[in-house]
Structure 1
Amino acid sequence: MLKISDSTTFYIVCPANYASGGPEDLHQMALALKETGKKVFMHYLNYDQEKFSSPVHKEYEHYDIPYCEKIENSALNVMIFPETFSIFIWEKNYSKIQKVIWWLSVSNFFASLKAWEENFKENPPKLKHRLLGKIKLPTIRNVKKSKVSHLAHSYFSVDFLQKNGIKTIGKISGYMEDMFLTGKDYTSEKKDIVTYNAVKNKDFLENIKKITPEIHWLPMINMTLDEVADCMKSAKVYVDFGHHPGREKMPREACLLDCCLIIGKEGSAAYKEDVPIKDEYHFEKTEQNIPLIVEKIKDCLANYDSKIKDFSNYKSELLEEKKVFYEKINQIFETK
């Protein structure tokens, strides 16, 4: 277990100048620690100084979290790594500090591991000389043997860690931005629109779109959070057949803004604990299911007023996420 005192400093490891669900969760954790009286810094890695004047992405400037390039490598302090940066837990500069891997996703862990494996194969002499054997590939076996704590983010990651014999110190999931947490009823603003994340839904959804020209499809791509919110406020249906490496934010945002959800079953979406929707809105991504998916989309458009009631419990649960997040932060990182 972690040993936390009034003298503990927290360092949150985060990719520099990169905006996505994971980095947002990392900034949320830093803010929660700061607001509960902890000393905390962001520790950005992979910062391109020639390209950017600051390692802080503009979307996270409002969190107002201080950052540092060097850390105090002390057993009093705590360093929190996203699973995609787990290779750095063996860095000599972090040898004494208490380390936590926060499993924001499972799929992205394996994607990053594959990238590091390829890097090691392509540049073995350079890497061996630079790392002096102090850094290992973050395979499950190596991570399991290391002296780090583990924190889950989704039931997908809880299940994955349990199956690999890795104990956790708890589970903390991020929450939605305040613009999605109004608790308002948006049903009166709805139009016959179906929206989706155009970046994470490609060929499979394109096949559905081709046979439904009568449906008004509205893709979300290169949008600000405000634009995403406006899009969801007007749409009756949100469709997502992406790979769901962790608890995806967009389906939760859509539910909070009163969209009916039609979701696939890849990654965390396969777990009812992560996506607690009725089976009639949950589909395997197969060609055979396309007619059923189209039928359900049209059902939601035609009978929206009754269908949206099926998501009221999930919306209520999501409105409590921020409160639960802070409770978990206090519980897991309590001063002993």
Structure 2
Amino acid sequence: MSMRNVKRVSFFCPTQPTGGPEAIHQASHALNRQGIRSDIIYVGGDAHIDIGDGRLTYRPPSHNPALEVYRTYEPKVFRGGAMSRQHLFVLPEVYAGDVTSLRGASVAIWWLSVDNAMVTTDEPTLRALFANHKVKHYYQSAYARDYLERSGVPTSMPLSDYTTPTFTELTTSGPNAETAIAFNPVKGADLSHVFFAAHPEFSCMPIRDMTKDEIVTALRRTMVYVDFGHLPGKDRLPREAAVSGAVVFVRRLGAGRFAEDFAMPDFFRFDETDVHSGELARRILAVHQDPAHFWTQQEALRQQVRGEQAELDDQLLALRGRRRAA
């Protein structure tokens, strides 16, 4: 599973800036800082990839939003390379079906989202992928690790991402004051609609159509953040909310089921029944009535989020058979 004999790492990456592409830019940037050559193959638009005679040639897309949005990670654009065992190609799970085209090179699948793979890749292809012991598997979440284990993958290795310093640079000393409930209206929209329709006593703060700075400002005001989504991986917004001072509730689905992904007591996990029965509303009201008590219970989550960047560095070093200098 290691990168011990790898001299170059190339990541396939969608051009649309979302949580997965940011993770890819973070890992590539970290490898370059560690002295390992790493670049990115952007997929989408008029990008062109051709494999032949033991080489992969590439023409980048003329329009690439991710390159601009993630420029702080100093991304290196792939310009072509040999298909050798010392060249590792890392594909996010949405491109898992393309593994067989990379014969001759080392290949890894990075499971940033379990659910996306089930949409983009058919079941026979996934079974063949899991049976191919030449393919490495990296997981972003304990949820993904569990999925790989249940799918018969004997060995996989952790490769996470991190919440940006824009959020983690602030050290919160207590809960935020505003009682409006922040949430992502794109994730779990049906369930969030049911909740707010049943509880007009709660004001809501949808996090949408905002710049990064606007999200920071919103999350540093709100006392409670609720994630109604399916959490196909360690989604960014709940982590950003926690480190910004909000008390976070996550749906007990996907990564929301795992303490390794969200280090919080079960009080802060809910399911659809809790929404319909009013239990989630009662828990949120309890937070509003004694925010300091419940905010203190999420210190482990905040510490977990603040340590993510160092954890990613350590994971990459471990994949290379090294560890951080004392």
TM-score over 0.5 (shorter chain): yes
Question: Which residue identity is paired with 1:193?
Answer: A
Question: Which residue identity is paired with 2:88?
Answer: V
CA distance in 2, matches of 1:162, 1:242: 24
Q: Secondary structure at the match of 1:239?
A: strand
Q: Secondary structure at the match of 1:108?
A: helix
Q: Is residue 19 of structure 2 the alignment partner of residue 11 of structure 1?
A: no
Which of 93, 100, 114 does residue 90 from structure 1 map onto? Answer: 100
Corresponding residue of 1:224: 211
Which of 25, 28, 40 does residue 26 from structure 2 map onto? Answer: 28
Corresponding residue of 1:126: none
Check whether the contact 1:193–1:237 (CA below 8 A) recurs between aligned residues. Answer: yes
Q: Is residue 149 of structure 2 the alignment partner of residue 150 of structure 1?
A: no
Q: Is residue 41 of structure 2 the alignment partner of residue 43 of structure 1?
A: yes
Q: Secondary structure at the match of 2:229?
A: coil
CA distance in 2, matches of 1:75, 1:268: 33
Q: Secondary structure at the match of 1:273?
A: coil
Corresponding residue of 2:77: 67
Structure 1 residues 98-122: Cα deviation after superposition (integer angstroms, max 9, x where no partner): 11111111111101115xx8xxxxx
Q: Secondary structure at the match of 1:307?
A: helix
Which of 207, 213, 232 does residue 200 from structure 2 map onto? Answer: 213
Q: Secondary structure at the match of 1:12?
A: strand
Query: How many residues were matched structurally?
Result: 310
CA distance in 1, matches of 2:115, 2:129: 18
Structure 2 residue runs of 5 or longer lacking an equivalent are 48-59
**Larger mean Cα displacement after TM superposition, 27-36 or 94-103:** 94-103
Check whether the contact 2:175–2:292 (CA below 8 A) recurs between aligned residues. Answer: no
Cα offset, 1:77, TM superposition: 1.0
Q: CA RMSD in A?
A: 2.2
Which of 144, 147, 160 does residue 147 from structure 2 map onto? Answer: 160
Structure 1 segment 173-252 matched on structure 2, within 5 A: 173-185=160-172, 187=174, 190-252=177-239
Cα offset, 1:169, TM superposition: 4.3
Corresponding residue of 2:306: 319
Which of 104, 117, 134 does residue 112 from structure 2 map onto? Answer: 104
CA distance in 2, matches of 1:270, 1:188: 24
Structure 1 residues 57-106: Cα deviation after superposition (integer angstroms, max 9, x where no partner): 42212211111253321222111111111111111xx2111111111111
CA distance in 2, matches of 1:95, 1:48: 24
CA distance in 1, matches of 2:26, 2:259: 24
Q: Is residue 27 of structure 2 the alignment partner of residue 53 of structure 1?
A: no
CA distance in 1, matches of 2:32, 2:45: 23
Check whether the contact 2:94–2:120 (CA below 8 A) recurs between aligned residues. Answer: yes
Instruction: Summarize the Cα distance change of 1:261–1:2 in structure 2 as closer, same or farther, 3 Å threshold.
Output: closer
Question: Which residue identity is paired with 1:275?
Answer: F
Q: Secondary structure at the match of 2:95?
A: helix
Q: Secondary structure at the match of 1:258?
A: coil
Question: Which residue identity is paired with 2:43?
Answer: L
Q: Is residue 263 of structure 2 the alignment partner of residue 276 of structure 1?
A: yes
Structure 1 residue runs of 5 or longer lacking an equivalent are 118-136
Cα offset, 1:204, TM superposition: 1.1
**Larger mean Cα displacement after TM superposition, 69-78 or 218-227:** 69-78
Check whether the contact 1:4–1:77 (CA below 8 A) recurs between aligned residues. Answer: no
Question: Which residue identity is paired with 2:209?
Answer: N
Corresponding residue of 2:157: 170
Q: Deviation above 4 Å: which 4+ runs of structure 1? A: 49-52
Cα offset, 1:302, TM superposition: 2.1
CA distance in 1, matches of 2:62, 2:283: 46
Structure 1 residues 313-333: Cα deviation after superposition (integer angstroms, max 9, x where no partner): 211122111111101111103
Corresponding residue of 2:250: 263
Check whether the contact 2:86–2:105 (CA below 8 A) recurs between aligned residues. Answer: yes
Cα offset, 1:51, TM superposition: 8.5
CA distance in 2, matches of 1:138, 1:305: 50
Instruction: Summarize the Cα distance change of 1:224–1:52 in structure 2 as closer, same or farther, 3 Å threshold.
Output: farther
CA distance in 2, matches of 1:180, 1:102: 25
CA distance in 2, matches of 1:252, 1:216: 22
Percentage of identical aligned residues: 23
Question: So what's the TM-score if we normalise by structure 1?
Answer: 0.86
